[in-house]
Every structure is written in structure tokens, then in C-alpha cells.
Amino acid sequence: MKQSRPEVFKFGGVAVGNADAIRVALAHVSRAAPGVAVVVSAMNGITDLLLEAGQAALRRDRARCDDAAAQVESRHRELVAELVASPDRANALNAVITESVRELRSMTESIAVLGELTPRAQDALVARGERLVAAIFAIAAIEIGIDAVYVDATEVIQTERRLGTLWPNLLKCERAAKKSVVPLLAARQVVVMPGFIASGPDGSVVTLGRGGSDFSAAILARSLGARALTLFKEVDGLMTADPKSVPAARVIADLHYREAAELAYYGANVLHPRTMIPLVDRRIPLYVRNSFRETSPGTRIAGDVKPGSYPVKALTAIHRQALLSIEGNGMIGVPGVAGRAFTALSQAGHSVSMISQASSESSICFVVPESEADHAVAALEAAFEPERKLHLIDRIDAEKHVALIAVVGLGMRGTSGIAARTFSAIAAAGVNIVAIAQGSSELNITIAVAESDATRALLALHSEYQLHKIRPLADTTGREAKLTLLGLGQIGRELARQVIAQQPHLRRDLGIDLKVVAVADRSGIRIDDKGFTPAALQRFAKRKESGARLFERGSPLTLRELETMMRDELWMLPSYRPVLVDLTSEEKIGRASCRERV
């Protein structure tokens, strides 16, 4: 049976970090194939190593470059040795590795000679991490009987420059995927593509930024109109807080795209912050799962997630921040101070996270990473030199050792009292609040506290919002219940209504995927192996209520005819493990069919 909408799997650096990890990854792929496209990261540590090789080359530290090249070579050769038994394939792959490492060495040598490392050279340098893994992954898949094929990311992910940064041109990506990926999937091949890299505006290879493979996978999922994207990582999903600070932290079962985006932005560090962007308008659900724990259902991120009973779902903390403040009565009512401050900071290369200004306007403060604080203060001092001389601005200051805590949840919007609860919980824990900001999206309250208070504040908030009670997503793998409703009279319709109403609860809490795959009456049988949608069931119910039958036929079928029809059509369904619900007044249908079924 041809799957019309493929799935996209992405394996992170640890999930492809050694031969055993890749075997586990291949098992996931083999269960889903065909109809799956795979995106891989570089092996963990390889991107760092390649970047370091570039830096070492700049310093003319040739020993370090050699060492990096040797490590890249040996880690990949080891994969081949363990995963590829056929000598021809192993030789071919080893030749690819040798060539890639030779190129790496000659690139670092040119960098050392020229004393220059351009962004373009750096991208070309790191691109080999993902490419090597994808090449090996595809061949290792073939070795175990999966019909896999390598497709280079530069053929699919097309970028352009927008406001100084590289951005995928989603329209072009979609067109490219239709051309180079869709036909392969249609031929039942598993496509393996390197993440992180893309084709730049001038056709050269570029990268999507650190951790960018998640983003690559999301772009591919969108371009293919995938039915879901799963990111296989070494963690169980997105968590209510960092378990290192909050031992009671739990995996969050479901999150809205926007909640996940907030968490990713605030350094939950599991997800690239841009991952959700290509998925949102196509409503492609995103799963984050632990590659190494088959039974862990992970986190589901989608657009249909309702606020539910947890107005606050997660806490995150960004450490080692500094709070910059500009103070002075001369700022009151003077337009342009904030504008000039931000301009000065952005010209000096600083990106500001939290911003807060009291309405008295006598001070404005914003947060930058602690390591940038001194440089940022110097930039502000230079920009406000005249005002400082005239004492319109008294102080430009950096308070270091600050942590930002973000309280995130869709349900905060429209639930009053969340800010009050948040602040009282923090106060009750004896923690002083340094600054506060809430975006008007009401998805997030951000609080700056002293670094040494951060853990206490997190613990207090976690228990205030009872986050240790968040229930995980139940595991539904292999737990489908397919119902056939015989008869759709009053009782049958009521049952259909209840099935519809209970579906989310059963799926979430009990891990049972209950669906109605067939309904029958005396006019015939309607079948949908994927399960009828609630709308379809409602349509049938309406029809029956109005006195019509499922099919417009002249005269009702005889019992014998109906039985034959059921036998012929129902048994054709793949993997049909029937649960037959006989709601007819006619005893014989149910019995006769059950007998044949067992």
C-alpha cells in the first residue's frame, strides 16, 4: 500500500554518535519504511572538532589541525568497519572518507597560509560532518536490506539572504524536493539527507547555524507535505524544567508550537528555535523522542494543543547573564533614548534578550550574556557621551551574575493571577526579583534573579504550578483498537459519539488508539482503514437519523449478502485485528461473522 504522505525522521548527533547508536536509528527507520525520509546530524563532537580545526589553522597550530583530521577520519572509519560488511561498499565509503579528510587537510593548510578564515571556508569545512554520516547511514541501511539513497541537502534546501541572515526560500525548497526527493519516495526508497547544510544564494554550501539540523528536517518535512516530523534525540522530550536543577522535572506530553518556540528560544537546548517555523502553517506535528528508548513516547508539538489544566507548562533558565541599565532623570520624556541604546548595542554586535522600562522612564534595562557585558557597557557609554557630560544620564551599569527565568505556558493568556502566583512563589522562597518582563503575547513571564537564587526560584515555581504532576503522553505503538460498528441505529450512533468524545482521552491517558474502521447497515458497508474522522462519523449518524441508509440502494441486502460483503471487504484490510460491535437487532450477523473471524 502506498503511503501518500511520508514521514520525516531526524537523528541528532548522539543518535548517530557511534555504530550502536546508528543500529538503533536504522531499526526506527526500518519499522517505518517505506515512506520515510531521514535527516542526520554530524556525529556528536565532530562539528566542534571541525570548527576547532579552522581556528587552529588560523593560529597556524598545524599539530592541532592534524590531530583533528585524524580524529574525523578514525571516527568515521570505525562506523564503516562496524556497519558495512560488504567489502565493495566499505571500500567505496572509505574512499569517500579519505577524500573528505584530504580536502580538510588542504583547506586548513590554505587557511594557515592565508591567515584568513572566511565564513564561506568555515561552512565548507564543517559541511563534511553531516555529509559523511549521511553517506554512511545510507549504505548501512542498504546493508540491512533497506532500499536507501543519499540526497545532498544542497539539492533541496535553498537559501537566500534576508536582512543580512540566511533564510530558506521555502517555495524553492518545495519545488526542489518535488523534483529530487518525491520521485525517490514514490519508488519506495528511503531518502537520507545531511542536516545543517544548504545551498547558499550563490550556489555554494552554507550552514543553518549551530544545531541547525532540526531546522533542516522541518524544512524537508514541509517541502514534502509530511504527515509528521520526529526528532530522535538522546533525551525523552521537552521537560517541565532542567532536571539538573529540578529533580522532579517531567517530560511534557504535548505543547503548542508557540510554547515550544518559547522554550527553544529560552535555551531549553533540546530544539533549535526555528524548527517550528516551517511546520506551523502546514500543521505538521512534531515529535521529540528518545532514540534509545523505544517505549518513550516523547513530546508532541502541534497547533491543536489546548491550554488544558496547566496554565504554566514549563520553566527555563538562562544562566550567566548581565543586566545593563541606563539611569538618569534626564531621560524622562526624551524620545529616542531606547532607540539609540539599541542601535549602539546592535552596532557593537550585541543581541539583547529581555528588555524592561518602568513607565517613569527614568531607567531602562536589558539583558545580554555576561561575557558581553563590559563591551556592551563601553558601547553605551560612547553612544551617550554627551548626555553623560550634561548629567542627563547618571549611570550606565552592568549587574553581572544574573539568571533569567522564563515561565512559559499558553494557558497564562486569559488566566488571571499567574503573574501574582509567580511572584508570590518566588517571594515565599526568599528570592529577590531583579527585573520583570512579560510579552504581550502572554505566553511567557521572564524574571531576572541573582544567579545564586536561580535554582531556588525554579524549585519554588515548579511546585507552585504542580509541574511534577504533568502526565506523559501514553505510548500508543501497537495499541490500536479498530472497531467495526454493525448497525448505526440509536445505540450505534450513541456509541459512535462516545468513541469520538473519548478518543483524545484514550490516546493520551491509556495509550489506546481507538478508531472506527468500518460501519455497516443493511445497505452495505463503509470502510476506512485509517479510521473515520469524527466529521465522517457524524455525517453517517445524521444520515441514519434522518431515516436514510448508509448507501442509497433500492432494497436492503439480505443477511447472506451482507455477510459475504463483510467477509470480502473487511478481510482485505491490512493488519485487521477486529473488534466487532454488533448493534443490530439481528442476532445472526454478529454470530455468523464472529465465527468466521476466529
Residue 49, Cβ neighbours under 10 Å: how many? 18
Beta bridge partners of 581: 485
Helices (H) and strands (E) in the chain, counts: 19, 22
Residue 409 binds which of Mg ion, ligand ASP, none (CB < 5-8 A, kind-dependent):
none
Among 6, 13, 297, 492, binds Mg ion (CB under 5 A): 13
- Virtual torsion, Cα 128, 265, 218, 49, nearest 10 deg: 10
For residue 155, the 8-state DSSP code is G
Residue number with CB closer to ligand ASP (13 or 273): 13
Q: CA nearest 240: which of 472, 508, 507, 430?
A: 472
Give me 46's grid cell.
565532530
Q: What are the residues binding ligand ASP (CB under 6 A)? A: 13, 41-42, 47, 129, 195-196, 210-213
- 216 belongs to the binding site for Mg ion (CB under 5 A): no
Least spacing, CB of residue 514 vs ligand ASP, in Å? 37
Which parts of 248-347 are beta strand (E)?
254-256, 286-290, 299-302, 314-327
Residue closer to Mg ion, measured from CB, 131 or 462: 131
Residue 214 C-beta: closest distance to ligand ASP, Å: 6
CB-based burial label for 480 (10 Å; 0-12, 13-18, 19+): middle
Q: Using the minimum distance from each CB to ligand ASP, give the nearer residue, 299 or 484.
A: 299
Question: 3-state SS of 160-229?
Answer: EEECCEEEECHHHHHHHHHHHCHHHHHCCCEEEEECCEEECCCCCEEECCCCCHHHHHHHHHHHHCCCEE
Nearer to Mg ion, 242 or 453 (CB): 242
287 binds, among Mg ion, ligand ASP, none (CB under 5 to 8 A by kind): none
**Residue 210: contacted member of ligand ASP, Mg ion, none (CB under 5 to 8 Å, by partner type):** ligand ASP
- Count how many Cα atoms sit within 13 Å of the Cα of residue 95 in the half-sphere of its side chain: 6
- The partner in contact with residue 311, picked from Mg ion, ligand ASP, none with C-beta cut-offs of 5 to 8 angstroms by kind, is none
If phi over 0 gives left and psi between -120 and 50 gives alpha, with beta otherwise, what is residue 272? beta
Q: How far is the CB of 157 from ligand ASP (least distance, A)?
A: 13
With CB under 5 to 8 Å by kind, the binding choice for 471 among ligand ASP, Mg ion, none is: none
Q: Smallest distance from the beta carbon of 66 to ligand ASP, in angstroms? A: 22
Helix (H, G, I), strand (E, B) or coil at 279: helix
Q: Which does 212 bind (CB under 5 to 8 A by kind): ligand ASP, Mg ion, none?
A: ligand ASP
196 binds, among ligand ASP, Mg ion, none (CB under 5 to 8 A by kind): ligand ASP
Measure the CA–CA gap between 248 and 466, rounded to whole angstroms: 10
Q: What CA–CA distance (Å, rounded) separates 324 from 365?
A: 5
Closer residue to ligand ASP in complex, CB, 129/168? 129
Contact pattern for Mg ion over residues 33 through 72, marking x by CB under 5 A: --------x-------------------------------
What's the min distance (Å) between Cβ of 272 and Mg ion?
9
**Binder of residue 192, out of Mg ion, ligand ASP, none (CB less than 5 to 8 A by kind):** none
Q: Residue 100 or 213: which CB sits closer to ligand ASP?
A: 213
CA angle 539, 543, 546 (to 5 degrees): 140
Please report how close the Cβ of residue 11 comes to Mg ion at its closest, in angstroms.
Answer: 10
The option from ligand ASP, Mg ion, none interacting with 299 (CB < 5 to 8 A, set by class) reads: none
For β-strands 513-521 and 480-486, DSSP reports them as: parallel
Q: Which is nearer to ligand ASP, 41 or 484 (CB)?
A: 41
Cβ proximity to ligand ASP: between 211 and 297 the closer is 211
Q: Which residue's Cβ has the minimum distance to ligand ASP?
A: 213
CA-CA-CA-CA dihedral for 235, 237, 239, 244, to nearest 10: 0
Binding positions for Mg ion, rule: CB under 5 A: 12-13, 41
